[in-house]
Amino acid sequence: MNNYELTVIIPGKSTPAKQKSAVEKVKKLIEVFKGKIGKVDEWGRLDLMYKIEGVDSGIFTLYNIELKAEDVKKLSDKLKTEEDFIRFLIVKA
């Protein structure tokens, strides 16, 4: 298992309930791939440098995760299909 950092952005106008739902969705996805979540750091609402899908601000959340190398691509593919997230980034820690 390798350590990764996953940063997820949801639209800035999302409600607190939507934010909590997005966090739970990511946790469930990581559990599906038998990964482990370490620290979850919510950065809050930040303005974007340019509009993404018509959205000018986003709520950023950083996850420290442990995941098998072969499951990173699968997680990435699954996150691409989710409509709640406007962007995400997975990097090896």
Report whether pLDDT(72) > 90.
Answer: yes
φ and ψ at residue 86, rounded to 5 degrees: -90, -25
Quickly state the pLDDT bin for 52 (edges 50, 70, 90). Answer: confident
**pLDDT at residue 73, as a whole number:** 93
CATH number at 48 reads 3.30.70.60
| Four-CA torsion 12, 44, 60, 19, nearest 10 degrees | -60
Number of folded domains in the chain? 1
Please give the model's pTM, rounded to 2 decimal places. Answer: 0.88
Residue-range definition of the domain harbouring residue 21:
2-92
